[in-house]
Amino acid sequence: MNVRTLETLVGFFMLLFFIAMFILAMKVSNLASLTGGSGYEVTAYFENIGGLKPRAPVSASGVRVGQVSKIEYDAETFQAKVTLNIDNDYQEFPIDTSASIYTAGLLGEQYIGLDPGGEEEYLADGDEFELTQSALVLERLIGRVLVNQ
């Protein structure tokens, strides 16, 4: 094999490596799904959101159905107001669906899990979740265990 062919092959494999690393970085940082606005927005109020961030996944039964579009503090209720963008493919969540903050995997990425209720009326753009469960904060849990001993 001559030197020119070897250099071309090395360059090709380096290009594939950089493309693979770029795709991996996009997946890990949740930037691969920048298609915001193609759905309907619903809000949820939480006492504590832990490390939840915008663009965090929203899932139901393990299937990604949307993402967190905005997080702000509501001075009237003294809670975190989280706006969720649910994809248009998932229009039929009952109005008594609950939203909970969970932690996934070893890296501790937080996401919102939806548990559908049993009502026959469905959530629409601008609706609000009535039932929410805040994030479990490990420091508070450890503090309770230490104090109760």
pLDDT in tens, the chain (149 residues): 788 898 999 999 999 999 999 988 887 766 655 555 578 999 999 998 988 899 899 999 989 999 999 999 999 999 999 999 999 888 889 999 999 998 886 567 889 999 998 888 998 888 998 888 888 777 777 888 887 76
* Domain total in the chain: 2
Q: Name 113's Cβ contacts closer than 8 Å, sequence gap at least 6.
A: 58, 59, 60, 99, 100, 101, 102
Same domain, 28 and 57: no
Same domain, 48 and 96: yes
Distances (CA, A) of 11 to 3, 16, 19, 35, 41: 12, 9, 12, 33, 46
**Token pair listed for 140:** 């508070």
Same domain, 11 and 48: no
State the first-to-last Cα distance of the chain, in angstroms, to the nearest integer. Answer: 72
Same domain, 70 and 97: yes
Q: Name 37's Cβ contacts closer than 8 Å, sequence gap at least 6.
A: 85
Same domain, 12 and 85: no
Same domain, 74 and 135: yes
CB atoms within 10 A of CB 67: 23
Pairing, β 109-115 against β 57-60? parallel
Same domain, 15 and 52: no
Same domain, 27 and 45: no
For residue 67, the enclosing domain spans 39-145
Asked whether the beta carbons of 83 and 69 are under 8 A apart, the reply is: yes
Same domain, 25 and 47: no
Same domain, 15 and 56: no
CB atoms within 10 A of CB 40: 18
Same domain, 102 and 74: yes
